[in-house]
Amino acid sequence: MSVQEYLDKHLLSRKIEDAVNAAVRAKAPDPILFIANHMKKAVSPVITKIKARQILDSQGIPTIEVDLFTNKGSYLASVPSAYVSPSAPMAIHDAIELRDSDNAKYFGNGVSKAVSIINDKISEALVGMDPQQQSQIDQAMIDLDKTDNKSVLGANAMLAVSIAACKAGAAEKEVPLYKHISDLSGKSSTVLPVPMITVISGRKHGGDNLAVQEIMVMPLGATNFAEAMQMAVETYHHLKAVITEKLGPTECNVGDDGGLAPDISSITDGLDLVIEAIDRAGYNGRIKLALNVAATDFCVGKKYDMDFKSPNKSGQNFKTGEELIEMYTKLCTDYPIISIAQPFDKDDWENSKVFTALEHCQVVGDDMLMSNSKRVERAIKDFTCNALLLKVNQVGTVTEAIEVVKQAKDANWGVVVSNRSGETDDSFISDLAVGIGTGQIKAGAPSRGERISKYNQLLRIEEELGSGAVYAGQNWRSP
> Binding site: which residues?
366
Q: Cβ of 349: how many Cβ atoms within 10 Å?
A: 16
Q: Which residues contact 406 (CB under 8 A, 6 or more apart)?
A: 185
Q: What letter would DSSP give residue 296?
A: G
Q: Which residues contact 467 (CB under 8 A, 6 or more apart)?
A: none
Tell how strand 299-300 and strand 303-305 pair up: antiparallel
| Binding-site residues for Mg(2+) | 366
Selection from 355, 358, 410 nearest residue 384 by Cα: 355
Dihedral sign computed on CA atoms, order 433, 438, 439, 442: negative
Q: Which of 391, 409, 442, 454 is catalytic?
A: 391
Distance CA 272, CA 194 (A): 22
Distance CA 339, CA 418 (A): 14
Q: Which of 57, 94, 145, 257 is catalytic?
A: 257
Q: What letter would DSSP give residue 195?
A: E
Confirm whether 257 is a catalytic residue.
Answer: yes
Distance CA 200, CA 215 (A): 5
Q: Give the phi and the psi of residue 114 in degrees, each rounded to 5.
A: -65, -40
Distance CA 369, CA 381 (A): 13
Q: Cβ of 373: how many Cβ atoms within 10 Å?
A: 15
- Contact, 229 vs 460, CB < 8 A? no
Distance CA 158, CA 409 (A): 25
Where would I find the H helices in 383-448? Answer: 398-410, 428-435
State the catalytic residues: 257, 391
